[in-house]
A and B are shown apart, each in its own frame.
Chain A
């Protein structure tokens, strides 16, 4: 397999972009990435999108987006793994370059979520859970993560305040990210007094509904050096699947797919958790970040809440988590999230992250998750 580099990144301001269509939002990000890479020709394109069919009644995104980005007739594919669709797009693009099938690949992610009302968006997101045996009984995504949160609190003594601290930390980071949907700080008190969605989770424990896109240009490391681009290498890609129904898993508080994806990625990269300088994780809900840092081996099982409280995962902490603001503050256009995570790590490893720069960052990691943990994708990156 060939070594693969990221040579271009592109992301637009995320939010409720009522004036822009899916194709516009995507094309903006794609053009930014192509300009950043300094290429005008690519061999292939991969797009991650969870549910354009339910959100805007549009499938066949592969060709639509190749056409509107001016890249047709290149081969294009749209991939889906619920909220991990963006991470899967990156993995698919990486496979294509690493295998030698293509040299320059555009990897993008997009979701346009505000063309439907809140009920319909809740329904569309719910399709990541088991329709016949979870959704049939009235569960929602905040509800599934609330089930995990209550079990984690019972089993490990994780506190309601520790959950809130995840949101506080990620909003503090997000306040330094001008592309974030909600670039402002929140307090523990604000989280704890926000409206209840699914006990014990409140609205400020939840990532928002977002329109947005993100894109990357990948090529072999050899070619990146010839182009004299700052090189960020993708040194590992790991993925694992699990039952999409939370009740079918052995442990409600443990995300086995993340653990297995990370195990593969650490082995491929020849790295250990202590070698990682910063991580972007899938904090769709505050409890998710706590469970994920445990499954990634960054902290001991059951200690995720304490880690956040102690400042271990803060921007100035030993292992900064979600320097971009995470899904919580940056926003969560589901198909774009996994790609945007890789953009944050690329910026950090290039030393381009501005006021949220982690000093001396050499190795970064992303973790993108589908549903309540039915799929997980982990990538490890290194400054070249």
Chain B
């Protein structure tokens, strides 16, 4: 089991959607990086991600990894947010049959999974139909 530091160091991204905007070319990197993937600049400002976007592609996970065993089947998609950033995450509060590429979704803060009955509860962002 990892130490808590592995979890809390990601909290700014997972709870508050903090990203790094390159001061050179304006590209938004999420998670934040030290080198801009586009212009290779090294200076950034902290920005908050857009809170809505559209589904680029999605799948329904029927055979889950262990921590998600009690959640399957569940939908996971790649969403392009309105600021151009792409995120992988679960799409919830939807019926699988109604999901479509191009569909609008918004980000909500949700429980992602938990370590057994008494372990850490992991939180983060999920997508819900807008």
Bound: A146/B61 CA distance, A: 9
Establish whether residues A154 and B65, one from each chain, have CB atoms under 8 Å apart when the complex forms: no
Return the CB mask of A96-139 against B: 1 if under 8 Å, else 0.
00000000000000000000000110110010000011111111
- Whether the Cβ atoms of A198 and B88 lie closer than 8 Å is no
- Whether the Cβ atoms of A137 and B56 lie closer than 8 Å is no
How close is B113's CB to chain A, nearest CB, in angstroms?
A: 7
In the complex, what distance in Å separates the CA atom of A134 from the CA atom of B124? 12
Give the docked Cα–Cα distance between A200 and B101 (Å): 14
* Given A133-B31, A245-B88: A138 and B64 interface contact (C-beta under 8 Å): yes
Other CB < 8 Å A-B pairs besides A123-B66, A136-B122, A140-B63, 4 of them? A132-B10, A146-B59, A147-B77, A199-B59
* Chain A contacts for B88, CB-based, 8 A: 133-134, 137, 139, 245-247
Given contact pairs A133-B88, A246-B88, A140 touches B78 in the complex (Cβ within 8 A): no
A198 near B10 with CB under 8 A, answer no
If A147-B78, A151-B101, A245-B88 touch, whether A138 touches B65 (CB-CB below 8 Å) is yes
Q: Is the CB of B87 within 8 A of A247?
A: yes
22 CB-based A-B contacts, threshold 8 Å: A119-B66, A119-B69, A126-B65, A134-B88, A136-B112, A137-B76, A137-B90, A137-B112, A139-B61, A140-B61, A140-B64, A147-B76, A150-B59, A154-B101, A196-B62, A197-B62, A198-B59, A198-B63, A199-B59, A200-B59, A246-B88, A252-B57
* B68→A138 contact, CB < 8 A: yes
B71 touches A148 (CB 8 A): no
Asked if B89 CB lies within 8 Å of chain A CBs, one says yes
Measured between beta carbons, the chain B residues less than 8 angstroms from A197 are 62-63
Q: Which residues of A contact B59 (CB under 8 A)?
A: 143, 146-147, 150, 198-201
C-alpha spacing A201/B61, complex, angstroms: 10
Residue of A nearest to B80 (CB): A247
Question: Residue B60 at the A interface, CB < 8 A?
Answer: yes
Nearest chain A CB to B117 CB, angstrom units? 18
Known: A126-B65, A133-B31. A138 touches B113 (CB 8 A): yes
Q: How far is the CB of A296 from chain B (nearest CB, A)?
A: 23
Alpha-carbon separation in the docked complex, A135 to B67 (Å): 10
CB of A310 within 8 Å of the partner chain: no
- Find out whether the CB atom of B61 lies under 8 angstroms from the CB atom of A138: yes
Residues on A with beta carbons closer than 8 Å to the beta carbon of B58: 147, 150
Per the bound structure, the CA–CA distance linking A192 and B37 in Å amounts to 40
CB distance from A117 to the nearest CB of B (A): 10
Chain B: minimal CB distance from A241 (Å): 12
B124 to chain A, nearest CB (A): 7
Q: How far is the CA of A151 from the CA of B57 in the complex (A)?
A: 6
Q: Is B78 touching A143 in the complex (CB atoms < 8 A)? A: no
Question: For chain A, which range describes its interface: under 10, 10 to 19, 20 to 34, or 35 or more residues?
Answer: 35 or more
Question: Which B residues have a C-beta under 8 Å from some C-beta of A?
Answer: 10, 14, 31, 37, 56-69, 71, 74, 76-78, 86-90, 96, 101, 112-113, 122, 124, 126
Complex Cα distance, B58 from A47, in Å, reads 37
A199 to B91 Cα, complex, angstroms: 14
B106: shortest Cβ distance to chain A, in Å?
16
B124 touches A136 (CB 8 A): yes
Report B91 CB to chain A, min CB distance, Å.
10
Cβ–Cβ contact B63 & A122, under 8 A: yes
- Residues of A near B31 (CB, < 8 A) are 132-133
Bound together, the chains give a CA A119 to CA B63 distance in angstroms of: 9
Tell me the complex Cα distance, A140–B59, Å.
10
Residue in B10, B78, B96 whose Cβ sees the most chain A Cβ within 10 Å:
B78
Contact partners of A139 in chain B: CB under 8 A? 61, 76, 88
CB distance from A129 to the nearest CB of B (A): 9
Q: Which residue of A lies closest to B66 (CB)?
A: A119
Which 8 pairs, one residue from A and one from B, show the smallest C-beta to C-beta distance? A146-B59, A151-B57, A138-B68, A247-B86, A199-B60, A119-B66, A147-B57, A198-B59
- B56 to A151, Cβ gap below 8 A? yes
Give complex CA distance A368, B62 in Å: 27
Contact pick for B78, options A135, A138, A247, CB 8 Å: A247
Residues of B within 8 A of A154 (CB): 57, 101
- State in angstroms the CA–CA spacing of A246 and B56 once bound together: 12
On chain A, the residues within 8 Å of B101 by CB distance are 150-151, 154
Cα A170 to Cα B31 in complex, Å, equals: 39
- For A248, list chain B residues within 8 Å (CB): 37, 86
A142 within 8 A of B: yes
Contacts of A126 in B (CB 8 A): 65
Known: A151-B56, A151-B101. Is A198-B112 also a contact (CB below 8 A)? no
Complex Cα distance, B86 from A248, in Å, reads 7
